[in-house]
Chain A
Amino acid sequence: MRNLYFVLLAVLLLVALTATLIRFYLRHRRSAETSWQDLVHRLVWIDRDAIATIALDAVTEEGELRPHGDCFALDSGVIWNLLGGLEGLEVIERNCQVLVELAAYLQRFYPEALVVAEQLRLNAREIEWHVSRLKGAAQTGNLEASFANYAQRAVVIYYMMTRHVLTLYDQAQFPGLAELQQAI
């Protein structure tokens, strides 16, 4: 009987490991074959003006925190409307992944871009964390209390990420900069 349990569990584990390995290998291959155009097309439209309004309520164009008394004028309801609620944040979350891949794409040709790509990756993880906190708050009925704080942080990080990706492409003198500016 014990031997039977062993075989069942071991074979299940083996199948799971093999399937996972194949799935991620295929995903990696698809990602390696992705062209720059494909990446840009994966960016989902989001109201840039709304993003800038929310972000610039907290930071300056240069990313410095605004002085006390000159910031955080937008309340929770306004931020919610400008963003389009949690759906808007989910779009930001998905776009962040594309921004990270755009930085990684440049890194294929210019390894020096690695440091920026890694930093942008950490920014994207931070946004994921904020969005997951908000989703958790939505489930427990505390969304209103947390929304302004976490959502605005996520938007500021996203706003700065878009600017940094554009700067990175500009510095590398990449030919598709104008198209990227339009898409972002």
Chain B
Amino acid sequence: MMHLTGFDLFAWAGGFIGHVVLLFVLLVRGRARSFPFFTAYIAEQILSTSVAYFIFYHDPFRVYQTSFWGFEGLEEILQLCVFYEIALHVFRPTGVWAQDVKKTLLSLVAVSVVVDALLTWLAQPETPRVIQRIVLRSNLFAALLMSELLVGMVVLSATVGLPWKTHVSRIAHGVGIYSIVSVAVFITDNFIGIHRGDHTGREIERFRYLVYLVCEVYWIVMLWAEAPAPRELPAAMKMQIYTLNRQVENDLRRIRTWRQH
């Protein structure tokens, strides 16, 4: 059985407690309704940590590895769902996709996948076992993809002038910083590889865990706090604003279709 150090146990317990508190915040403050995928991601983290801990101490190491792989796959899928959820909040300000971003967003995903596939193919970490090489490269691919998508989304929203609401921007801050740090760690991991008796990779991984713990605390604090309260508009004014919206929409449609001379 693999030996767990004091730091491993601290990171494991800290991460678990952080996720439980964060899930509590998401449910009690009603954020789970707005961010179901992020909530599912946090719930999956709690489940995977609990199951992994139980299996680690009660089952053969091979069972632990299998469960680890299963949860890793699920985690990657949920991370992409969280990205999609952030995109929904930013690029569908009125409940429908902003007309001018959909194609750019799809291009961003396609270009990111190609660039990441190329970099992952270039990486050739030296490892004693094939499975370890696959782990290192797939981790790199996932981290690169998340960070590129997040940064691309930030640039696109600023370019087209779409604002970010308070809580979605807080979630994105955490995901963005953690993804960038993960990319740095996984580039190093893939460069130095894994060698018997060399614990450099493990030391670097600790830094990533610590950053994640900080992100957890940030999410807990930020998602507990309420967004600035809006002022209430009288019903008549709301009606006027919706009429104005229709006017602006119609103006643009008319101008687009006019034929000169």
Q: Which residues of A are at the interface with B, using a C-beta cutoff of 8 A?
A: 2-3, 5-7, 9-11, 13-14, 17-18, 20-21, 24-25, 27-28, 58-59, 63-65, 72, 97, 100-101, 104, 107-126, 148-149, 152-153, 156-157, 160-161, 164, 167-168, 171-173
Contact = CB atoms under 8 A, between A and B. Distances in A.
Contacts of B230: 109-111
Contacts of A97: 161
Contacts of A5: 122
A116 B147 CA distance: 32
Contacts of B140: 10
Interface in B142-157: 144, 147-148, 150-151, 154-155
Interface of A: prevailing SS? helix
Contact of A3 (B191, B255, B258): B191
B203 interface: no
Interface of B: 93-94, 98-100, 115, 119, 122-124, 140, 144, 147-148, 150-151, 154-155, 158, 160-164, 176, 180, 183-184, 187, 190-191, 228, 230-231, 233, 237-238, 240-242, 244-245, 247-252, 254-256, 258, 260-261
A25 B176 CA distance: 11
A157 B251 contact: yes
A13 B230 CA distance: 40
Contact of B251 (A9, A11, A63, A149): A63
B39 to A, nearest CB: 23
B124 A14 contact: no
Given A6-B124, A9-B122, A168-B244, A107 B163 contact: yes
Contacts of A100: 161
A7 B233 contact: no
A9 B161 contact: no
Contacts of A27: 158
A104 B144 CA distance: 32
Contacts of B242: 115
Given A2-B124, A18-B180, A58 B258 contact: yes
Q: Which of B176, B230, B233, B241 has the most CB of A within 10 A?
A: B241
Contact of A122 (B100, B158, B187, B191): B100
B119 A10 contact: yes
A17 to B, nearest CB: 5
B252 A123 contact: yes
Contacts of B94: 114-115, 118
Contact of A116 (B190, B231, B241): B241
Given A10-B122, A164-B247, A171-B240, 18 more contacts: A2-B124, A3-B122, A5-B122, A11-B187, A14-B184, A59-B255, A112-B233, A115-B242, A118-B94, A119-B245, A119-B248, A119-B252, A124-B161, A126-B255, A160-B248, A164-B248, A171-B244, A173-B237
Given A109-B231, A153-B255, A115 B245 contact: yes
Contacts of B184: 14
12 contacts: A6-B124, A10-B122, A17-B151, A58-B258, A63-B250, A104-B161, A110-B233, A114-B94, A119-B252, A125-B100, A164-B247, A167-B244
A64 B250 CA distance: 9
A120 B247 CA distance: 11
A21 B231 contact: no
Query: Which 10 pairs of residues, A with B, have the shortest CB-CB distance?
Result: A6-B122, A119-B248, A115-B245, A10-B187, A160-B251, A171-B240, A63-B251, A116-B245, A6-B123, A111-B230
